[in-house]
Structure 1
Amino acid sequence: MPPAVQAEEKVASPWAEAWYSFKKNKLAVIGMMIVLFFILLAIFAPVIAPEGINDQKLDARLQAPSADHWFGTDDFGRDIFSRVVFGARISLWVGTFAVMGSIVIGCLLGILAGYYGKWIDAVISRAFDIMLAFPSILLAIAIVSVLGPSLQNALIAIAVINIPNFGRLIRSRVLSVKEEEYIMAARAVGMKDSRILFQHILPNSMAPIIVQGTLAIATAIIEAAALGFLGLGAEAPNPEWGKMLADAKQFMIQAPWTMIFPGIAIMLTVLGFNLMGDGMRDALDPRMKS
């Protein structure tokens, strides 16, 4: 087979075509590189960090960035660079697993609401509406206040507040997909609902979920940092970026580097996920293609 024909067949695959479109988006590629950088930073944190995250040197308190301490030191003499590097593990862990939990529960509820309709749809949709009536961060604060301040409870709160977003997204997708001819044919031959839902409807509804999930990780990282800043997330001495900002606010004038570098880490991580998510949306959404 001629090489040109082989290339056309490869691009003909929906996912291959999406990847081809994604690669042409320079900002999306930059976002992916930023995300990969922080993922590698988190994986190899013990190798990259020059000092332990809790190694205190009281004679080196609040030192400015230097060759010995690239990002300076905090009020306990701890190396800020090491803590920022290890903080990538916490932020990515919270963001990823919170969104995964939201996707699983939200998709399950959204599929049931969209496929069966009637009172099931009414109950689930009204529950989503009630949750969305509250500002997300206030709802997260309320949940953590009930469960108790901790990193695990912050993860649960972030997962809960994002469930309606995925639930409503998958519900709208199911409402359109279930009217397709191949779904009607599957019903006509007596295929079970569970098989229709998880073998036909769900796989054909994953593109918007993937895009929303990527963007939601960025939001989850910000929410985790906000809870940490308010003292409702990670507890000392965990090097969570939001908690680091909270601990450094009293030294903002005296030692601004204690806030600058954790803030830059949050900004770059969120920027990376947002750029990558926008690129995935453009690549997977047929309406964005000429």
Structure 2
Amino acid sequence: MNTNSLVFRFQKTTKVFFGRGFVTVFSTLFIVLLVLLSIAAPLFCQDPLKQDLIHRFSKPSLQHILGTDSFGRDIFSRLIYGTRISLMASLMSGLLAAIIGISLGLVAGYFEKFVGALIMRMVDAQLSIPPLIFSMIICAILGSGIWQTVIAIGIGMIPTYVRLVHGMVLTLKENDYIIAANIIGQKNRKILFRHLLPNCYPSIIVLFTMNLGSAILSEAGLSFIGLGIVSPNISWGCMVSEGYPYLAKVPLLAIIPGLLIAIVVICFNFIGDGLRDALDPRLRGKL
């Protein structure tokens, strides 16, 4: 495929994605804005760990845009710095799940007899346990922390990738070009990663985007009950947990990070919908 063809496809895909309406554009810009703010946080935010017990529970002001928490720490700064860890944890857990899940799905779909059956039975066994409960079990074993949370959430999301890729490979390997590749003696590794995997990319990208929202929710849930990210590290889930005891007195401590979690999850879902329409050739022609 030449460069002009790739550029044309990219332009068309981008046009369809941003042509879905205001919601998709807003969702994308909102996520981009959060990422930029988190990167530039040291330039305009106060120290999120600095305590000022004299000014506990301060109301919003010019000095503290969203007020302060129970230790006098600036809520706005903690939100922005918490964005770093929350988004990083969701991204890393998503990558972990995608790498392992895609590899297992390719193998299970292509070698569908003993190896494939064994992998799918293991996936079915894991799916019998709700993902959040499964992640809680892993966190209880590994302990609390950023990377422990990433591993727990990532392992919990692996089955979704395995089942998606497995189903697609079962269909794709019956195509003539795959049969021809087998006949001429191409290695299985080349068939898997050069012929089968590229055809799975659109669906994988959509699933990965939507799973980012699920990962943020999982991190928030684990951190809320003390099994995920804990202080002095800052995440949105950790902020909700710290603000919950003061919900009646200062509801904003828990409501603000909780609301941000909800908005970001919804944004990722809208972005996933937009990518699905933009990457699916059957839908592209209708939009």
TM-score by length of 2: 0.94
**Could you tell me which amino acid in structure 2 is paired with residue 91 of structure 1?**
S
Give the number of aligned pairs. Answer: 281
Distance verdict in 2 for CA 1:101–1:11, change over 3 Å: closer
**Counterparts of 1:59 and 1:220 in 2: how far apart (Å)?**
37
Task: Give the superposition deviation at 1:260.
Answer: 2.1
Matched, 1:32 2:17: no
Contact 1:92–1:221 (CA under 8 A) maintained in structure 2? yes
1:41 to 2:40 alignment? no
Deviation at 1:184, TM superposition (A): 1.5
Report Cα offsets for 1:173-216 as digits up to 9, x if no partner. Answer: 11111111111121122111111111111111111000000000
AA aligned opposite 2:235? E
Contact kept in structure 2, 1:229 and 1:245, CA below 8 Å: yes
Post-superposition offset of 1:12: 9.1
* Pairing 1:198–2:193 present: yes
Quick one: distance in 1 between partners of 2:265 and 2:72?
28
Please, which of 271, 281, 286 is the counterpart of residue 276 of structure 2? 281
* 1:95 Cα offset (Å): 0.4
User: Are 1:183 and 2:191 counterparts?
Assistant: no
Q: Distance in 2 between matches of 1:185 and 1:14?
A: 27
Q: Does 1:265 align with 2:266?
A: no
Structure 2 vs 1, CA of residues 204 and 15 (structure 1 numbering), >3 Å: closer, same or farther? farther
**Deviation at 1:287?**
3.9
RMSD: 1.5
1:248 counterpart = 2:243: yes
Q: Distance in 1 between matches of 2:270 and 2:183?
A: 43
Distance 1:15 1:118, change over 3 A: farther
1:93 paired to 2:88:
yes
Secondary structure at the residue paired with 2:80?
Answer: helix
The secondary structure found in structure 2 opposite 1:235 is coil
Pick one of 68, 75, 80 that aligns with 2:75.
80
Question: Can you list the C-alpha shifts for 1:127-184, whole angstroms capped at 9, x where unaligned?
Answer: 1111111111111111111111222111101000100000110111111111111111
2:165 matched residue in structure 1: 170
Name structure 2 gaps, 5 residues minimum: none
**In structure 2, how many angstroms separate the alpha carbons of the residues matched to 1:276 and 1:169?**
19
Task: For residues 204-249 of structure 1, give each alpha carbon's deviation from its aligned partner in whole angstroms, at most 9, with x where no partner exists.
Answer: 1111000000000010011001100010111212221111111111
1:153 aligns with 2:148: yes
Segments of 5+ residues of structure 1 without an aligned counterpart are 1-8
Of residues 137-146 and 267-276 in structure 1, the stretch that sits farther from structure 2 once superposed is 267-276
Match of 2:101 among 98, 106, 119: 106
In structure 1, what is the Cα distance between the partners aligned to 2:38 and 2:176?
Answer: 46
CA contact (8 A) 1:63 1:74 kept: yes
Letter in 2 for 1:124: I
Secondary structure of the residue aligned to 2:72 is coil
1:14 CA displacement? 4.2
Are the aligned partners of 1:58 and 1:77 in contact in 2 as well (CA < 8 Å)?
Answer: yes
C-alpha contact 1:28 1:277 (8 A) present in aligned 2: no
**Structure 1 residues 270-279 or 77-86, which shifts more?**
270-279
